[in-house]
Amino acid sequence: MDAATQMPSHPNSVWAATANPRSNLPCLEDDIETEVAIIGGGYSGLSTAHHLSKAGVDCVVIEANDVGWGASGRNGGMAVLRYKKGFSELATLYGDETTHGLYRLVMEAVDTLEGIVREYSIDCGFSRYGHITAANGRKSVESLEADIAWLARRAGDHGARMLDAREMRQMVGTSVYPGGYLDPRAGGVHPLNYARGLGAALHGKGIPIYVSSPVESMERDHGGMVLSTRRGRVYAKKVVVTTNAYTDLMPLGTNLARRIVPVSTSVLATAPLPSELASSILPQGQLVTDNRHLVNYFRMLPGNRLLYGGRGDITGKESPDIYRGLHSMLVSTFPALKDTAIEFHWSGKVAVTLDDFPHFGKLGEKIFYSVGYGGRGVALTNLLGKLLARLVCGEAVDAGPMNKGRFNPIFMHRLRIPGMQMVAGYYGLLDKMERQA
């Protein structure tokens, strides 16, 4: 059966409006057998399938909605060469050696994304646009300078550099930032086209991808696992769960949903800007994330639209207030856009962890997972898919805190919404104080 007839729609994003057509993928209608069943058709699941198939392992992907329906098809498309915490802070927390390993891994993450795009000639606008981490005040400038110093001293890497307030004005087109950290090697994609392109490439290689097929239960069976969907079952030797912030769509009997906190992030895209105005904002095309605790991110899109994202509603609802708040942040950054129409707004969920790292690993011998990317999954999902595939094949993998760190269910998880409300209030205050310092 063609799954398109029962496909839940993608959000009303600028990405969905400008995406390449989706492939005609089936939904699961039979009982099938495979070595590895991957639950979730976002970047993590698709990258795992790509790397497993390269290792000669038979696998299938089972997706509840559509390929790229989750965060993978609706994000900012920024493949950033930093973690949420800067290198200098990581070195203080984990030591130089571990941080050096993490630095190499994040570099490899963007290379892996680029390698997949090139291997399948995926039409997703991948380019090394460069990424600016915009400082929110003096303290933030100092911490970014410390990252540059750490990179040079400990990794011999001189690829990133600081921008002063004048360069920020020229390169970003706003005077609100006292400085920034530019890494010209960071990449960008059209996120939904990357997900669709990779899904189509894998399907073309003969890797079965079933859409509109939510996995409703996962049980052990005769030394393997059985996944049940509405119309068919998958008998697999091993299962990989890559449902990230959408892990609670179905209770699959793991405690993964309690190890992460799903947090909503919302995005606006303007109408096309007049060319003179457009050329005053990010004239060299870099992607930007600011260094606030409650992060904002933005980039110019083909067709002279500005995409601007930030905090969403904590309860996950899409309230007009959230988009109004985001619009006022946009206007305070770019006052000239006060009267510019907003043509698209949408939201999605990221999965936050206590240590700000994604985590991957095993639950027993047969279930593998990767979750918890926060706002840093565009590149890292590609890497963790590769590392997960190695783990599934029985190789030893060391990705520092991402698979050796503590990753337990969060204490009092059921109170996460009031908890997040308190944290967000506190972070908002810190951001204000840091901007004024």
Q: Residue numbers of the site for ligand FAD (CB under 6 A)?
A: 39-45, 62-65, 69-72, 74-78, 80, 214-215, 242-246, 249-250, 265, 267, 297, 309, 348-350, 373, 375-379, 381
Between 96 and 248, name the residue whose CB sits nearer to ligand FAD.
248
**Nearest distance from C-beta of residue 289 to ligand FAD, angstroms:** 7
Is 396 strand, coil or helix?
coil
Between 150 and 344, name the residue whose CB sits nearer to ligand FAD.
344
Tokens at residue 168, please? 């920020």
Between 70 and 400, name the residue whose CB sits nearer to ligand FAD.
70
Q: Distance (Å, rounded) from C-alpha 22 to C-alpha 199?
A: 9
Between 179 and 377, name the residue whose CB sits nearer to ligand FAD.
377
Tokens at residue 393, please? 């094949």
Angle at 254 (CA atoms; ends 249, 257), nearest 5 degrees: 50
**Nearest distance from C-beta of residue 3 to ligand FAD, angstroms:** 13
Between 171 and 186, name the residue whose CB sits nearer to ligand FAD.
186
**Nearest distance from C-beta of residue 63 to ligand FAD, angstroms:** 5
Between 72 and 174, name the residue whose CB sits nearer to ligand FAD.
72
**Nearest distance from C-beta of residue 434 to ligand FAD, angstroms:** 22
DSSP tag of 127: B
Q: Distance (Å, rounded) from C-alpha 394 to C-alpha 376?
A: 27
Residue, CB closest to ligand FAD: 377
Between 40 and 361, name the residue whose CB sits nearer to ligand FAD.
40
**Nearest distance from C-beta of residue 259 to ligand FAD, angstroms:** 14
What are the CA-CA distances from residue 172 to residues 60, 167, 276, 279, 361 (Å)? 43, 8, 14, 10, 39
**Nearest distance from C-beta of residue 275 to ligand FAD, angstroms:** 25
Residue type, 134: A
Say if CB 108 and CB 265 are below 8 A apart. no
Q: What is the DSSP string of 156-220?
A: -----EEEEHHHHHHHHS-S--SEEEEETT-EE--HHHHHHHHHHHHHHTT--EE-S----EEEE
**Nearest distance from C-beta of residue 229 to ligand FAD, angstroms:** 8
Tokens at residue 352, please? 């936050």
